[in-house]
Structure 1
């Protein structure tokens, strides 16, 4: 067991100003358990090395060298650096932080003796816990100042890639590229904080938008069982609920910090429980993971154990969503981990670009340069599985030639392109350099203007870097603008990256989207490669099948709100999207289709000339009109014959003409209702039919009076004549006309639409205005018809050859039957059929009057003219009188 306490792993490159920092756990010492077919354990002491994190060191070295080569930045000052490993260990982090504050490698803070580096900034690790432990110490101690030395002899405290600025306590400026634990946002303790990453809230919003984009509502949450895991779960869970997403499970990975913990965990049922959870929750296809380095290390360890237990295939076919701390890397212990489990994973990364010359810088590295680089030697031996010739070992290892190429390493172990984390370190170094340059320039100008340059420059105080760091804004060599917002956060966005793995244990990054401030979210689905088990179809991760359009969700009792059943929409309502909470009605001008998943436009419903029903009724009306004209023509032609003259010829003409107009008025009911046609429909029909019926009444009364007048001494003779008949017709018609006038005055009919009575149609109709007046008009017609029927019925057996009463009786019987059946039929139909019912009633009643009254006479006039003579009628009349 190698004790890391005695392996500081310092990396020195000293200069006038020095940046010190912690690496992101390059070396983490554990006992690694290697298992063979033999169930007995074999324990080997081997450091777990995160090879990829060495790029963070190289990014810092490259950035410092780039600053020192640039004559426009700190032209008279050079930067150096010191690097310590944090080992994922709080105690070692605290110890190495104190090393920054001490001299001669002895931890004596605030004591300056002999040689001391001129510390200007401290770079924290990727893990926020590491940076938090550093900040706790750096916020306590003040660093002694040398009062008579120039700027390059002064000690400015802690402008770090994690760090703090405090005027009263530590006088330290701090910059970080990790996400803060909540206490780090405590302005009382850490008033000024600078991050080389965007606001973390944007990342959580991006996760929610990503889940909503693919409609993943049933997801698993994986986090470490520590403070960071608690914070991740506490922030994410409410956001999921607010957006209709349910966590199927929240699994907390067990923490281990030593080889004994790993051994105990493996030989318990804990790993198997985790793998069974991943296997049994088959409907959970999406896992959201807090991808900080420690969590990822533990997760990969469990997956590695599952692979050894031949359960790895069972956890394939999942979509892993990783936070921005994720960097696809493998430690030396998990080289055998099958990385295809992460094929198709999606992660958030800080937006970055390729930095020119960085790859050229990597190409010139070799294990013997620089000699004081302890990390490079350890990295080289672990990466290429060899030992350098001067390594102290008793084994016979493979020798490193020094000609090994970094580009030959698989991407999970080392990448030649700069990662997002390294890019943040690179920007942080330049931000600090720009702030120091601005501060140094401002102080020199101040001394020249105020003091004339004759006095020695006063000692620069460490906190003076703060206003310059706060206002730092520059374009880096990649062309990105680097500046902080008012909260000390980098103004940039998160990239959404799709991770594609290959059989040779390599991978590629594919940028598929972007999440930035506010609700800005862009995702290109077509660029995403899913795990092969999905066959390039977007995975489903729901508690149950989606409710298709036409259904609405109904919550299951005792289940999370994401688990529900699908209920068919009630009649008249639809749902046009998946998983709708409730069905809704279509707009008035639309109706639901058969599947109740969309609204179709309603068809205008009115009786038109272009449809069969309209054509039929129009043809009947035309035919009856022609027949009426023909009958009228016959009666006019034979107007002087006895049969025409016997029954009041003028009233007969009036009846025929009124019947003609009755048939013609039906054309007012066919076609799309207009304002004029609506006004004329019922009034014309009512008045004309009143003329027709009153004409029949007049003819019947005339017959009765004529018979009564033939009796000796009768006083009724003076009433017999045309004036009585005309009076009956005119008075009856005027009453109907009066009612129609009142109707038109108070509430006239008007064109209207009805979109509710018939589901698929919008009825275009004439609103009768006053329904009372409409039924008054019909009622008056019924009254006239009833009176006419009664009179005709009583007069049907009068002994008069010219008596029409029996024919009028039959005609009025038909007329009353038609209109009595009309009322319930009219009320029970809608739309064009209601209009058709009224037209049919008009035509049938008119045809009944025409046929019953005039067909016998036409038969005699046309076919039996020999009967149409006075002598025959006198003889017949005498015979009829004798029979009575």
Structure 2
């Protein structure tokens, strides 16, 4: 594409130079080149004039010359940065000693035809341009500095690339110029546009903005940068609410539509990739509609625009933040500029134009230029530059000027390396070197690729494999001045060569936001989800638009905008805010807590009662009421009822292997002994009554053998169940982390649930059998019918343990243990109270009933103590 286009231009130029008189050559008014001789020549093109007039197109005539006007003080300063750098180098004894640099400078007028003409003029080496010809009588051309516009630099580098001449641009930042295949000889001292797109995305991320709009010119600059920005923004989790194209050709309807989109958008931040010329109409309309709440993020194309920041026009741009080309300082440059004078440099054709434009005067015997045609004053040469206040003399923000200065030094250091080449150690065939006053373009190109030096300020200058320099941007903030204008203040920097994560350096406290606020404004589609919550994307909307949902039980999110909640480890649990995991509270029934203390005291108290009754029975062991129904069996039962409450103490305290094994087996065996004794006593009541009838054959069963056998057998069966349980799957301590929220329950795992419920079932069978037999014998004719009290005791026992089952299954943690202890104490107290309290009542309070006759229902008798 470029080669086809270039061929057309060259054909046109050949026809033009061959068919026209010298006076018709492409030399617009006062824009011929500026030459200064030297041992080595550095060429350059600058847009000394900003505006141009193209000739009328008539295909029957030869093309006319392009006329340039509107002298640019800013671009002319770039030109003098080159001249000043060459003066410094020529005066330096350390850099290129005994070698004088000359230059050839051409006004490109920022248009492609003049850029091509300037290149051909420099390559030919003569005033008369001859295609594919180089006058070797002239000093060699080392490189060409320029141009400013990428559209001009592209055809220039296509021509220079044919001959392997290096080209170093100070302002052409187009991404396409980094293509080494298409532009092998192109270098630049301004960063590649792609880098600022990446940097601006990081800047947006730095401020926590996730919801932005984008404006971009509808040319290669705007669309290329916005595409890279969008891709990087997506990687960083930033969403684009709108992306509008800024028209290059003004369109009122298009402008109004863009402003309406900006006005109705919810994004508070707008990133703009545009040139000030195209952006100006949109800003005019935004100002007209008084849209002040937006934050503008500027690309380098307009971040230092004087047209947008001066004359108190766009106050809504206050608080804007943007990337700007790195500002540098050139020592002594201001003094150099103030020393310029047309009489000192009579060959500087541009200096005379500058003087006329700066002082609004006209030199005598000089053609009238478009810029000065209305001037009435005559230039005297006595005008003082120091009294001027214009862009040319403003060295406070040297950006492109600084790039130009560095571009010249890059060529000089490349020449220095060529000059320092030692024979037989050179980089070319056979170790050969190039001669500084007669070298080939491809030889200096080799040194340009490898140039690496530091400026006086310590900044590194070199070119990567694509000819790009290390990207260094200033970050500027637009702040109001006392006069009502806006000034841009440096508040940070972006350095692509810094370590990862440290490219962006910002002084956040120095940034002034719209409304003169210091706090960073928000620009989000949805408010951030706090720790303890997670994001849930809204269906059909960008990922930046979401709802916040609290983390589920047992999960946390430790930072803002978490996309998922993470479960805590088994031994930890979320805190109330669910943003960190904290150790679970360890729970078990301990002696140090009120519940454990109460149950322990009750256990001891209840265990003391049967001991006291046992002592009472031993004291009155010869009385009929004690001797009735197997005195020894009563003693055994009282001992068992003493142990029953005490075995509950094993349930209190931190579970261990020993306590887990003992607590259930001791409880099971002792209670089996107790119930078996009750069962034996119940059977003996019936046998004793039946044996008292005449002709009964039950006399032989009366005595202690049968009840002892029943008590032992009932206990041994339970002991056998417990033995099988311990042998097959014994209980063991475990940390239960799941049964209760936020707690680790230290408990005893029963090992085998079947064995546990078999043990409980067997004890229940004993109790039910005792209850049934006692119930059947409750109406036996006796003044003191023990079967009646056994019935009540078994009724209490059965009710307690039937109630225990659902309570045991429905409680968790220490309360499960408390329920079992309560059942043990309740059933123990029930047995003790129902069976023995009536006897104690008779012994202590009704001794007259403690006789054999009374017990046999034969009336009262005096109490006899035997």
- TM-score, normalising length from structure 1? 0.82
Question: Which of 807, 811, 818 in structure 2 is aligned with 1:825?
Answer: 807
Report whether the alignment pairs 1:788 with 2:811.
no
Question: Which of 160, 163, 167 in structure 2 is aligned with 1:160?
Answer: 167
Aligned residue number for residue 427 of structure 1: 406
Alignment partners' CA distance in 1, 2:429 and 2:567 = 79
Q: Which secondary structure state, in structure 2, belongs to the residue aligned with residue 532 of structure 1?
A: coil
Aligned residue number for residue 469 of structure 1: 448
Report whether the alignment pairs 1:119 with 2:100.
no
Change (3 A) 1:736 1:287: same
Asked whether the equivalents of residues 550 and 595 of structure 1 are also in contact (C-alpha less than 8 Å), the reply is yes
Change (3 A) 1:101 1:483: closer
Report whether the alignment pairs 1:277 with 2:265.
no
* Per-residue Cα deviation, 1:721-756 (whole angstroms, up to 9, x for no partner): 223222222222222222222222222222223333
Asked whether the equivalents of residues 642 and 870 of structure 1 are also in contact (C-alpha less than 8 Å), the reply is yes
Alignment of 1:313-392 (within 5 A): 313-314=290-291, 316-324=292-300, 328-330=304-306, 335-336=310-311, 338=313, 340-349=315-324, 354-358=329-333, 361=336, 364=339, 370=345, 372-373=347-348, 387=361, 392=372
* Per-residue Cα deviation, 1:401-444 (whole angstroms, up to 9, x for no partner): 7445499668xx87534644444333332222111111122166
Gaps of 5+ in 2: 1-25, 54-66, 367-371, 862-866
- Superposed CA RMSD in Å reads 3.9
Change (3 A) 1:47 1:187: closer
Question: Which of 454, 461, 469 in structure 2 is aligned with 1:482?
Answer: 461
Aligned residue number for residue 181 of structure 1: 175
Asked whether the equivalents of residues 179 and 466 of structure 2 are also in contact (C-alpha less than 8 Å), the reply is no
Alpha-carbon deviation of 1:509?
A: 1.2
Asked whether the equivalents of residues 211 and 241 of structure 2 are also in contact (C-alpha less than 8 Å), the reply is yes
Alpha-carbon deviation of 1:552?
A: 4.4
Asked whether the equivalents of residues 52 and 68 of structure 2 are also in contact (C-alpha less than 8 Å), the reply is yes
Asked whether the equivalents of residues 476 and 482 of structure 1 are also in contact (C-alpha less than 8 Å), the reply is yes
Alignment partners' CA distance in 2, 1:450 and 1:583 = 65
Alpha-carbon deviation of 1:248?
A: 1.6
Q: Which secondary structure state, in structure 1, belongs to the residue aligned with residue 515 of structure 2?
A: helix
Alignment partners' CA distance in 1, 2:69 and 2:639 = 117
Alignment partners' CA distance in 2, 1:351 and 1:214 = 22
Change (3 A) 1:30 1:190: closer
Change (3 A) 1:321 1:368: farther
* Per-residue Cα deviation, 1:449-490 (whole angstroms, up to 9, x for no partner): 99999x999952221123323332222211223334445443
Asked whether the equivalents of residues 215 and 273 of structure 2 are also in contact (C-alpha less than 8 Å), the reply is yes
Asked whether the equivalents of residues 40 and 437 of structure 2 are also in contact (C-alpha less than 8 Å), the reply is no
- TM-score, normalising length from structure 2? 0.83
Report whether the alignment pairs 1:61 with 2:42.
no
Alignment partners' CA distance in 2, 1:452 and 1:213 = 51
Q: Which secondary structure state, in structure 1, belongs to the residue aligned with residue 50 of structure 2?
A: strand
Alpha-carbon deviation of 1:866?
A: 3.6
Asked whether the equivalents of residues 318 and 531 of structure 1 are also in contact (C-alpha less than 8 Å), the reply is no
Alignment partners' CA distance in 2, 1:795 and 1:380 = 137
Change (3 A) 1:457 1:466: closer
Aligned residue number for residue 395 of structure 1: 375
Alpha-carbon deviation of 1:245?
A: 2.3
Asked whether the equivalents of residues 40 and 100 of structure 2 are also in contact (C-alpha less than 8 Å), the reply is yes
Aligned residue number for residue 104 of structure 2: 82
Aligned residue number for residue 595 of structure 2: 613
Question: Which of 219, 238, 244 in structure 1 is aligned with 2:237?
Answer: 244
Pairs aligned (count) = 811
Q: Which secondary structure state, in structure 2, belongs to the residue aligned with residue 533 of structure 1?
A: coil
Alignment partners' CA distance in 2, 1:527 and 1:354 = 25
Alignment partners' CA distance in 2, 1:631 and 1:362 = 121
Alignment partners' CA distance in 2, 1:482 and 1:547 = 45
Alignment partners' CA distance in 2, 1:744 and 1:352 = 86
Report whether the alignment pairs 1:510 with 2:491.
yes
* Per-residue Cα deviation, 1:832-858 (whole angstroms, up to 9, x for no partner): 222222121111111111111111112
Change (3 A) 1:620 1:495: farther
* Per-residue Cα deviation, 1:687-716 (whole angstroms, up to 9, x for no partner): 221111111112212222222333344433
Alpha-carbon deviation of 1:807?
A: 0.9
Aligned residue number for residue 226 of structure 1: 219
Q: Which secondary structure state, in structure 2, belongs to the residue aligned with residue 700 of structure 1?
A: helix
Asked whether the equivalents of residues 166 and 441 of structure 2 are also in contact (C-alpha less than 8 Å), the reply is no
Aligned residue number for residue 13 of structure 2: none
Asked whether the equivalents of residues 179 and 197 of structure 1 are also in contact (C-alpha less than 8 Å), the reply is yes
Question: Which of 248, 263, 267 in structure 2 is aligned with 1:255?
Answer: 248
Alignment partners' CA distance in 2, 1:745 and 1:609 = 31
Q: Which secondary structure state, in structure 1, belongs to the residue aligned with residue 208 of structure 2?
A: coil
Q: Which secondary structure state, in structure 2, belongs to the residue aligned with residue 434 of structure 1?
A: helix
Alignment of 1:424-573 (within 5 A): 424-442=403-421, 459-491=438-470, 494=473, 496-504=475-483, 505=485, 506-511=487-492, 514-515=495-496, 516=498, 518-524=500-506, 526-533=508-515, 535-549=517-531, 552-566=534-548
Alignment partners' CA distance in 2, 1:121 and 1:463 = 11
Asked whether the equivalents of residues 797 and 806 of structure 1 are also in contact (C-alpha less than 8 Å), the reply is yes
Alignment partners' CA distance in 1, 2:469 and 2:592 = 72
Moved more, 821-830 or 630-639: 630-639
Alignment partners' CA distance in 1, 2:388 and 2:729 = 92
Q: Which secondary structure state, in structure 1, belongs to the residue aligned with residue 306 of structure 2?
A: coil
Alignment partners' CA distance in 2, 1:876 and 1:354 = 132
Alpha-carbon deviation of 1:670?
A: 2.3
Moved more, 707-716 or 679-688: 707-716
Alignment partners' CA distance in 2, 1:451 and 1:210 = 51
Aligned residue number for residue 136 of structure 1: 158
Alpha-carbon deviation of 1:787?
A: 1.4
Q: Which secondary structure state, in structure 2, belongs to the residue aligned with residue 772 of structure 1?
A: helix
Asked whether the equivalents of residues 271 and 306 of structure 1 are also in contact (C-alpha less than 8 Å), the reply is no
Alpha-carbon deviation of 1:817?
A: 0.8
Change (3 A) 1:158 1:782: same
Alignment partners' CA distance in 1, 2:854 and 2:460 = 122
Aligned residue number for residue 93 of structure 2: 71
Alignment partners' CA distance in 2, 1:645 and 1:876 = 18
Report whether the alignment pairs 1:725 with 2:704.
no
Aligned residue number for residue 851 of structure 1: 833
Gaps of 5+ in 1: 32-44, 143-156, 163-175, 257-264, 880-884
Asked whether the equivalents of residues 215 and 245 of structure 2 are also in contact (C-alpha less than 8 Å), the reply is yes
Change (3 A) 1:306 1:493: closer
Alpha-carbon deviation of 1:195?
A: 4.2
* Per-residue Cα deviation, 1:369-391 (whole angstroms, up to 9, x for no partner): 65555556666776x78557779
Change (3 A) 1:875 1:715: closer
Q: Which secondary structure state, in structure 2, belongs to the residue aligned with residue 540 of structure 1?
A: coil
Alpha-carbon deviation of 1:785?
A: 1.0
Q: Which secondary structure state, in structure 1, belongs to the residue aligned with residue 688 of structure 2?
A: helix
* Per-residue Cα deviation, 1:245-295 (whole angstroms, up to 9, x for no partner): 222221222224xxxxxxxx37x33433333333232x222222335xxx2
Alpha-carbon deviation of 1:558?
A: 4.4
Change (3 A) 1:760 1:452: closer
Alpha-carbon deviation of 1:77?
A: 0.9
Alignment partners' CA distance in 1, 2:254 and 2:570 = 61
* Per-residue Cα deviation, 1:478-534 (whole angstroms, up to 9, x for no partner): 122333444544346555444444243333212266554655444446334132337
